Structure 1
C-alpha cells in the first residue's frame, strides 16, 4: 500500500498547561482513529533553514514546516480524507500538505 506524508504548516504552540493537554488529546485521538494506517505519528519540528545553491537562509522559507506524519492509504484521495480530521485545521491557522512517498 502506498505511503503518504502529511506535512504540517502553521498552527501554533499551546500557551497554558490546560491548552497543551487539550491539544495533545486531540492529536492522540485523531491518530488513534487512523488505526493501522498510521505508520509514524511524526513530531512537531523547530524552525528550519533553507539550503540553496546561493547559501543558507535562516527564515524557514516561504511556508515553514511545523511537523509531519506518515500514513498508509490506498490512494491520494483516501490520504486527503484522513488529513481532513487533523487538529491543526481546527483553528484555521494551519494546513496539511499531502504527498505520496514514492517507492524507489
Structure 2
C-alpha cells in the first residue's frame, strides 16, 4: 500500500490557549486512535526551521513545518481524507500530503 508523508504547516507556532493543553493533546490522541490502522509513524513535532537556497540561509520560512507523520492509504484521495480531520487543520493550519516514492536499488 502506498505511504504518504504528512507535513504539518502553520504561519506561526500553534500553541493552545492556557489551560487547553490537555484538550489539544486529547484531540491528537483521538485522531491517532481513529486512524491507527493507517498511521505507520506518528512522527514528531519539529523545531523552528531555516530556508537554505543558493542565495543563502534565511530564518524567514513562511508557512513553516511543525511536524510530520507517515500514513498508509490506498491512494492520494484516501490519504487526504485522513488528513482532513487532523487537529492541525481544525486549529487553522494545514497538512501537506505527499506520496513517498520508494527508490528501487
Mapped to 2, the partners of 1:20 and 1:94 lie a distance apart of 17
Residue of structure 2 in register with 1:79 after alignment: 79
Deviation at 1:36, TM superposition (A): 2.0
Mapped to 2, the partners of 1:19 and 1:40 lie a distance apart of 25
| Runs of 4+ deviating beyond 2 Å | none
TM-score by length of 1: 0.89
Mapped to 1, the partners of 2:84 and 2:76 lie a distance apart of 12
Structure 2 residue runs without a partner (length 5+): none
Mapped to 2, the partners of 1:62 and 1:53 lie a distance apart of 18
Q: Deviations over 1:52-101 (max 9, x none)?
A: 12211112x2321111111001100000010111011223x211111101
Structure 1 residue runs without a partner (length 5+): none
Please provide the CA RMSD for this pair: 1.3
Residue of structure 2 in register with 1:42 after alignment: 43
TM-score by length of 2: 0.88
